[in-house]
Amino acid sequence: MKAIRRFSVHPVLPEPLRPLSELAHNLRWSWHPPTRRFFRDLAPEAWRRTGGDPLRTLCALPPSKLAQLASDSAFLRRLAVAAGDLHDALNEPGWYQREAAASAGLPRAVAYFSPEFGITGALPQYSGGLGILAGDHLKAAGDLGVPLIGVGLLYRHGYFRQSLSRDGSQQEDYPELDPAELPLRLLREADGMPVRIALRLPGGRSLYAHVWQARVGRVPLLLLDSAVQANAEQERRVTDRLYGGGGEHRLLQEMLLGIGGVRAVRAYCRRTGHAEPEVFHTNEGHAGFLGLERIRELGERGLEFEAALESVRAGNVFTTHTPVPAGIDRFETSLIASHFGDDGELEGVATEDVLRLGAESYPGGDPGLFNMAVMGLRLAQRANGVSSLHGEVSRTMFAGLWPGFDPAEVPITSVTNGVHAPTWRSPRMPADAPALPDAELWALRRTLREQLVHDVRARLRASWRERGAADAELGWTDGVFDPDVLTIGFARRVPSYKRLTLMLRDPERLTRLLLHPERPVQIVVAGKAHPADEGGKRLIGELVRFADDPRVRHRIVFLPDYGMDMAQDLYPGCDVWLNNPLRPLEACGTSGMKAALNGCLNLSVRDGWWDEWFDADFGWAVPTADGDAAADEDRRDGVEAAALYSLIEDHVAPCFYDGGGVRGGGRAPEGSRAPEGGRVPEVPVRWVGMVRRTLARLGPKVQAERMVREYVERLYGPAARSHRELSDEAAARGLGAWKARVRAAWPSVSVALGSVEHDADDGNGEDDRQGGHERHGEQNRGGEHEQPGGGAGSGLRLGASLTLRAKVALGGLSPEDVEVQAVAGPVDGSDRIAGGDALKVPLKPVTSAGGGADLDGRWTYEGTVTPGSAGPYGYTVRVLPAHPLLASGAELGLAAVPSDAADETPGGAGV
């Protein structure tokens, strides 16, 4: 019969066993093999039944077993060693402490906000790459000693559990998660009562949340939970499901994450003595309201909105993960307005100021929508994408916020994602794997593949039983996959742009690849479609129906309920990791990084991180369609699928099977079955060389420790220094007032086109003065002017210089308020200067006889430009706002240029 109430009964640990609780609650066990072995040996059967969860393993032990362990001196010695190891890991100085000792600029603490965190399958609070990335960020930060505090939400139903119906359709189930059964502890006040976070809602309602703590090594992770008794039923459901609901439900989740998250951090620091964060890192726009809460805090101390905004921006870092506007959360402005101001949250912050920060006030924007990513960018002085290519895409996508600048100059940098090696590298993969002899490395890879074969068979049988099959029908699963066959993996979320079914474009050609008599291929596929994504569900159904075909079901499988536990089995056992997104819609795509840590080779469209680090020495790039083919979706997919088939057939499989099919002489290891063709390949030297180079050269690049170091050095450190400068109220007020003055004066700032001139040294001591509308780039077109090394009149010799002069009207601003630049570089056929290759040279004001501007109020600026390359070259002059507390000259989105050198009028939304 069904219980009407559920509660958890916890074991009472005898005093000598108390360290077991700390070991089980610190999630370091999930990536620390000695701790995992310790709990496995403690109760092997319970460990197996609980899926390798230390806390549940302890709960499975009867009191008699606990009493026995408490008097077992040998066990207590092992426990003391394990507990001491954890203590040392949490307290020994790391890389960050050494860096901080050498430089006073690093932050005392960093708060890292994310809507999801993938730490371990025992804490299912993630849906895909964003959450796994956030979890790896916390783990690597802890390993390095970075004083990070993670902030998220506790979803009582997590994401969802995926299964398949008999016909192969995705089905979703949302199991109830009891925090008391998870490796979490409540944050409590000194009197023992739970810390309670409160948000004001319209109509006099309130949203309350408790704060649960997880320990991720030395990093605390705070998770806010609205399922508390003080809430009305509607508010209790705010943290029900990850990415569930829409409209107000989603808005309340993001208000709780951002606003409530800051309040949770304050409470945690107050209760534990942890240093207050100087830097706040927003991982995607969902947590963007954190900046508004910090503005409210400063307002309570008497700081005006504009000054508080400058102070908050200085310490904020914003990371965008989406390459398309459709991936950004946007809300109706009326919904936002109803939740702020006098009848809602952020008392003292005017509703119009809130709306202004998220307004799409740029060409193509929708004035009726509030954009969370736009707010995130306006509230952060530093922002980044998650791969080099994604940085380029982001600069173009958000260029409307900086209307005076080419996309290449938009102040969004990139830090390429990384993955936590101790989590994703197989324990069987030794640190010295790149140095192993060919035969040993090949044997290691086969061992990992064989383990995957066993896992695939077990998971496939379990899936078919869930689909309604009887054990008597499943004898065929014992012959699924072969440890000596080239194995390709494809596992990820299933939005349409990731193109799960591109491999099915030509089913018969795929079938021939799978069943090739000498060079067969086997493919393992996994992934979840969002419950509301009917298109993604159809793709899964199409793939499953193909994999159910008795002709090929021993060579291609779909495994449901993809998650961290399954992923940790898939990556090491695959030979090739396939990724074929629609370029450039994969912001980073870290699954191939995890595979690479295990010697798996990448076969991918050059998107995300693979565009940046692709090398034919350790993988293959799937060609992408261009021209007319790229514009036609059906034709594009046909072209790229054909290229994928050809790569596998003509390059990947021959390389794996040593270039000549299956060669004689090899024998299948005992207990294994040879592939079709009957014999096992000898060591494929070229393939093993690619595996070795993947481990040695690509492995270090893809690690999260490299990523976190970059965040510290390029973003956290500079943000902390800016925060300290602008935590001074006078400095914050001064910067806010200066920006207001510059914006007001900017319409009157201009460069007189007719005054721009240069003196050109032709390399023979002869000057060639050009001015007015006659740009130097135009002289290098046609006839003798294009001849390399020509004499006088042939343009400018490489290595020679131009002295530029321009008259600039500053509109009441002083030269200290601006920087006048010459922007020079190679030009295209329309006289556009390539932004990435442009040379930017400050021009200096020339003091007039009166010591300032000339009689008509204009200043003369002068400087020297030396072209760095031959060919068509050009220059222009522009004026930018300049202040020592700006992170870049583009920060305000203002630039004044000669009228015919600008594509847009100066001014705009700015940030």
The total of other beta-carbon atoms located within 10 Å of residue 667's CB is 9
Per-residue pLDDT band for 678 (boundaries 50, 70, 90) equals very low
Q: Are 557 and 525 in contact (CB under 8 A)?
A: yes
* Residue 800: per-residue pLDDT: 85
C-alpha dist (Å) from residue 178 to 175, 233, 869: 10, 17, 65
Burial (Cβ within 10 Å: 0-12, 13-18, ≥19) of residue 368 = exposed
Predicted confidence (pLDDT) at residue 908 exceeds the cutoff of 80? no
* Residue 330: per-residue pLDDT: 95
Of 353, 425, 440, nearest to 736 by C-alpha is: 353
**Tokens coding 812:** 């009441």
Mean of pLDDT over the chain: 90
Report helix, strand and coil shares of the chain as percent, to nearest 5.
45, 20, 40
Per-residue pLDDT band for 779 (boundaries 50, 70, 90) equals very low
The total of other beta-carbon atoms located within 10 Å of residue 864's CB is 14
Greatest Cα pair distance, the chain, in angstroms, is: 101
Which has the minimum average pLDDT: 8-17, 21-30, 173-182? Answer: 8-17
The b/e string for 252-285 (b: 16+ C-beta within 10 A; e otherwise) is bbbbbbbbbbbbbbbbbbeeeeeeebbbbbbbbb
* Residue 796: per-residue pLDDT: 79
The total of other beta-carbon atoms located within 10 Å of residue 851's CB is 6
To which H or E segment does residue 538 belong? helix 534-547
Q: 809-867: per-residue pLDDT in tens?
A: 998 999 999 999 999 888 888 888 876 678 899 999 986 545 566 756 789 999 998 88
Rounded to whole angstroms, the Cα distance separating 680 from 12 reads 55
Q: Rounded mean pLDDT of 322-332?
A: 90
CA angle, 496 as apex, 490 and 499 as ends, to 5°? 35
Rounded to whole angstroms, the Cα distance separating 1 from 430 reads 50
Rounded to whole angstroms, the Cα distance separating 129 from 141 reads 18
DSSP secondary structure string, 328-377? S-EEEHHHHHHTBGGGSBSTTS-HHHHHHHHB--STT--TTEEEHHHHHH
Rounded to whole angstroms, the Cα distance separating 240 from 242 reads 7
Residues contacting 731, CB < 8 A, separation 6+: 725, 885
Burial (Cβ within 10 Å: 0-12, 13-18, ≥19) of residue 187 = buried
Rounded to whole angstroms, the Cα distance separating 186 from 183 reads 11
Question: Of all residues in the chain, what percent carry a pLDDT higher than 70?
Answer: 90
To which H or E segment does residue 877 belong? strand 873-881
Residue 221, classed as helix, strand or coil, is: strand
**Tokens coding 184:** 């979490």
Predicted confidence (pLDDT) at residue 6 exceeds the cutoff of 80? no
Rounded to whole angstroms, the Cα distance separating 60 from 564 reads 23
Indicate the pTM of the whole model: 0.92
Of 588, 584, 388, 599, nearest to 489 by C-alpha is: 599
CA angle, 168 as apex, 117 and 675 as ends, to 5°? 90
Q: Rounded mean pLDDT of 101-108?
A: 90
Per-residue pLDDT band for 873 (boundaries 50, 70, 90) equals confident
> SS in 3 state form for 38-62?
HHHHHCHHHHHHCCCCHHHHHHCCC
DSSP secondary structure string, 225-247? E---TTS-HHHHGGGSSTT---T
**Tokens coding 492:** 């990820």
* Residue 770: per-residue pLDDT: 53
Of 200, 345, 347, 186, nearest to 268 by C-alpha is: 186
Query: Which CB contacts under 8 angstroms, 24+ apart, belong to 30-35?
Result: 30/119, 30/120, 30/122, 30/423, 31/139, 31/420, 31/422, 31/423, 32/422, 33/427, 34/82, 34/85, 35/82, 35/85, 35/86
C-alpha dist (Å) from residue 769 to 70, 573, 794: 92, 69, 14
**Tokens coding 347:** 């008392």
Q: Are 251 and 288 in contact (CB under 8 A)?
A: no
Which has the minimum average pLDDT: 705-714, 748-757, 888-897? Answer: 748-757
Name the CA dihedral angle for 668, 694, 393, 495, rounded to a multiple of 10 degrees. Answer: 20
Q: Are 488 and 522 in contact (CB under 8 A)?
A: yes
Rounded to whole angstroms, the Cα distance separating 364 from 357 reads 17
Residue 123, classed as helix, strand or coil, is: coil
Predicted confidence (pLDDT) at residue 743 exceeds the cutoff of 80? yes
Rounded to whole angstroms, the Cα distance separating 15 from 5 reads 31
Rounded to whole angstroms, the Cα distance separating 424 from 625 reads 33
Rounded to whole angstroms, the Cα distance separating 144 from 136 reads 12
Determine phi and psi for 509, rounding to 5 degrees. Answer: -65, -40
Q: 189-222: per-residue pLDDT in tens?
A: 999 999 999 999 999 999 999 999 999 999 999 9
Rounded to whole angstroms, the Cα distance separating 489 from 510 reads 15
* Residue 376: per-residue pLDDT: 97
DSSP secondary structure string, 394-433? HHHHTGGGSTTS-GGGSS-EE----B-HHHHS-TTS-TTG
Name the CA dihedral angle for 580, 582, 585, 590, rounded to a multiple of 10 degrees. Answer: 0
Q: Rounded mean pLDDT of 595-610?
A: 97
* Residue 327: per-residue pLDDT: 85
